[in-house]
Amino acid sequence: MDVTREQISDGLKRAKYVTNERVETAIFLALALEKPLLIEGPAGAGKTEVAKVLAEILHTELIRLQCYEGLDEARALYEWNYQKQLLRMQAGEQEGLRWEELSEHVFSRDYLLERPLLRAITAPSRAVLLIDEIDKADEEFEAFLLELLSDFQVSVPELGTLKAHERPVVILTSNRARELSEALRRRCLHLFIDFPGIEQERKIIELKVPELDAKLAAEAARFVSAIRKLGLRKPPSIAETLDWARALVRLGVRELDTDAVRTALSVLLKHEDDRARVESKASALAPRTR
């Protein structure tokens, strides 16, 4: 596919996705080499967002497959619509159709429930396929995915082989709940996205919550970065930082002092012990104490 690094870089900027060279290069390569991109990193660092932004840049549909334990081909690829088939057969019996005629009818695309993977393959134009949290799926599913990712074709016994018109852009994300197989890693390009640095996060806040005072945004970024280093049970994600920034705007906070930090902490931290921990250190962490 013909894209240049500059196009990606511009596109990311237009989509308000603040990032670094590492991410840009990886996205560019995924498009240029038509390879799946495996993104790893802590929860809430913007892995899923990459796929969303990419769909926006390419002006195509984002097809999302959320993985979970026990996800099988019927949920991921396709399934026959049994109810519809049954109804059709009952109607057919009354019309006096023979089985041969019926079966031809009943096993057509009309009665096929397309799940995300098949949708991505049969999409009329190049789609972005996001396979989210692949580490939550079973190993069997991972093995099945390997086959699909290399050929982008599916054979449905009753219909024949369906092949992608245009290879979808595939993004896989993983939180490392378990180790992915070497085989899958081999087939993908790899990208690790960590939490943004203070400066990068400040830019994100300014871009997404422009109502917040610039000085306050910088202080907020510094504060969040500091509490991420405390080794909390669940460090705040970027989305939570943004929610927090919005909360600060709504609360009319002018200065990020100890009290301001305390009032809106529940937006940022979702575990009671995390909250207690940060609250006890609030005075040390808050940029300004009264």
Q: Which is nearer to another protein, 24 or 206 (CB)?
A: 24
Q: How many CB atoms lie within 10 A of CB 157?
A: 6
Q: Among 7, 125, 153, 181, which residue interacts with another protein (rule: CB under 8 A)?
A: 181
Are the CB atoms for 191 and 71 separated by under 8 Å?
A: no
| Minimum CB–partner distance for residue 86 and another protein (Å) | 6
The owner of tokens 């830019």 is: 203
The backbone torsions φ and ψ at residue 195, rounded to the nearest 5 degrees and listed phi first, read: -60, 145
Q: Among 95, 161, 179, 290, which residue interacts with another protein (rule: CB under 8 A)?
A: 179
Confirm or reject binding of residue 69 to another protein (CB under 8 A). yes
Query: Residues near 160 by Cβ (< 8 Å), separated by ≥ 6?
Result: none
Confirm or reject binding of residue 95 to another protein (CB under 8 A). no
Confirm or reject binding of residue 83 to another protein (CB under 8 A). yes
Q: Which is nearer to another protein, 40 or 133 (CB)?
A: 40
Q: Could you give the dihedral angle defined by the CA atoms of residues 84, 86, 89 and 94, in that order, rounded to the nearest 10 degrees?
A: -100
| Minimum CB–partner distance for residue 102 and another protein (Å) | 15
Confirm or reject binding of residue 185 to another protein (CB under 8 A). yes
Q: How many CB atoms lie within 10 A of CB 3?
A: 14
Q: Among 97, 146, 164, 189, which residue interacts with another protein (rule: CB under 8 A)?
A: 189
Rounded to whole angstroms, how far apart are CA atoms 99 and 132? 42
Piece in contact with another protein (CB under 8 A), picked from 115-123, 154-162, 173-181, 256-264: 173-181
The H-or-E segment that residue 265 falls in is: helix 265-268
- Reading the block at residue 135, the tokens are 């580490």
Q: Which is nearer to another protein, 82 or 288 (CB)?
A: 82
For residues 12-41, which are near another protein according to CB under 8 A? 21-22, 25-26, 28-29, 32-33, 35, 37-38, 40
Q: Among 64, 88, 136, 187, which residue interacts with another protein (rule: CB under 8 A)?
A: 187
Q: Among 190, 215, 250, 271, which residue interacts with another protein (rule: CB under 8 A)?
A: 190
Give residue 288's region: left, alpha or beta (phi > 0; psi -120 to 50): beta
**Total of residues contacting another protein (CB under 8 A):** 32
Confirm or reject binding of residue 139 to another protein (CB under 8 A). yes
Rounded to whole angstroms, how far apart are CA atoms 50 and 27? 8
Confirm or reject binding of residue 197 to another protein (CB under 8 A). no
Measured in whole angstroms, the distance separating CA 280 from the mean position of its chain's CA atoms is 34
Confirm or reject binding of residue 270 to another protein (CB under 8 A). no
Q: Which is nearer to another protein, 144 or 244 (CB)?
A: 144
Q: Could you give the dihedral angle defined by the CA atoms of residues 106, 107, 112 and 118, in that order, rounded to the nearest 10 degrees?
A: -170
> Do the bridges between strand 169-174 and strand 37-40 make them parallel or antiparallel, or are there none, so unpaired?
parallel
In the complex, the residues that contact another protein under the rule CB under 8 A are 5, 21-22, 25-26, 28-29, 32-33, 35, 37-38, 40, 69-70, 82-83, 86, 138-139, 178-179, 181-182, 185-192
